[in-house]
Amino acid sequence: MRKLYIAGNWKMNKTSSSAVKYAEELLKADIDKNVKVMVAPSFVCLADVCRVLKGSGIIVAAQNLNEHDSGAYTGEVSCEMLKDIGVNDVIIGHSERRLYYGETDSIVNLKIKKALSENMNVILCVGETLEQRESGLLEKVLHDQITIGLKDINPDDMKKITVAYEPVWAIGTGKTATPEDAQSAHAYIRSLIKNQFGSLVGDNTIIQYGGSVKPENVRALMDCEDIDGALVGGASLKIDQFLPIINVYK
Ligand code: PGA
């Protein structure tokens, strides 16, 4: 049985003080115990948010990491630095990283391997642009992002990987994929994982949907067979919007 996994990606929003205030409110909130919950603050807020949420069961994740151990990589953050402040989860390959910072599938693969080698859990983001979808490239894009992104990963390590399907045209635009379109992309991603790692791994892998998820549309998406959670950007920034998403079945 795949557990519902709702994650909030705060992107480049919130200061340490506003992040801590949010985390304190989340701690007090009435959250459905059957849901796995994560928030991903910016690097500078991570340590403070970890301190507040320690022992709560709410996961605190980084939005990125560097694929190297340490060294002359100005502006970058390593696994060791994250683990030292209690961060064991990371989002890798978000479309904003791919589009604005040139992260390729091969770099994504190196980052995932680094995270796994340090025993961290990963959310791997995949998804097509509008242009790719309209040119009939949806399956090819997802195929490459999954097969290259997860190349040479040990099937045993797949329990540490969540995949987030985030059509780029739906991120921050207010346009959500229809439940039918999202379900069909999720089913295809699951079939790719089954081909690469076997049926059991494919059946057990959590695949989140991301792209303008809101309290009003979350239920129809989560009701789809192959959608096991959500990666939420804009609507995760305000607790009164994030809570009803987490508590979609409560
Ligand atoms: P959005 O972002 O919910 O604001 O569309 C989703 C994401 O980028 O993870």
Q: What is the pLDDT of residues 166-214, one digit of tens each?
A: 999 999 898 888 999 999 999 999 999 999 999 999 999 999 999 999 9
Ligand 1 atom closest to Cα of residue 234: 4
Check if the beta carbon of residue 89 is closer than 8 Å to that of residue 120. yes
pLDDT in tens, 106-138: 999 999 999 999 999 999 999 999 999 999 999
The first and second tokens of residue 87, run together, are: 């961060």
Binding site membership of 127 for ligand 1 (Cβ less than 6 Å): no
Active site residue 68: no
- The protein residue whose alpha carbon is closest to atom 9 in ligand 1 is 233
* Average pLDDT, rounded, for the chain: 97
| Closest residue by Cα to residue 45 from 74, 14, 81, 66 | 14
Cβ-contact 165, 139 below 8 angstroms = no
- What tokens appear for 214 in the block? 């809101």
State which of 63, 168, 171 you would mutate to test the pocket of ligand 1, scoring each by most atoms of that ligand within 8 A of its C-beta: 171
For residues 26-32, give the mean pLDDT: 97
Mean pLDDT to the nearest integer, 84-103: 98
Taking 90 as the threshold, does the pLDDT of residue 245 lie above it?
A: yes
Q: What DSSP letter does each residue of 80-132 carry, written as one string? A: HHHHHTT--EEEE--HHHHHHH---HHHHHHHHHHHHHTT-EEEEEE---HHH
Using CB atoms within 10 A of its CB, is residue 121 exposed (0-12), middle (13-18) or buried (19+)? middle
CA distance 43 to 125: 19
- For residue 107, the CA-to-ligand 1 centroid distance in Å is 22
Verify whether ligand 1 is closer than 6 Å to residue 172 (CB atom). yes
User: Token digits for 100?
Assistant: 């604005």
User: Tokens 């589009």 correspond to what residue?
Assistant: 99
Which protein residue has the closest C-alpha to ligand 1 atom 7?
233
Quick check: CB of 231 below 6 Å from ligand 1? yes
pLDDT at residue number 176:
86
Cα 72 to averaged position of ligand 1 atoms, centre (Å):
32
Q: Residue 217: count other Cβ atoms within 10 Å of its Cβ.
A: 18
Q: What is the pTM of this model?
A: 0.97
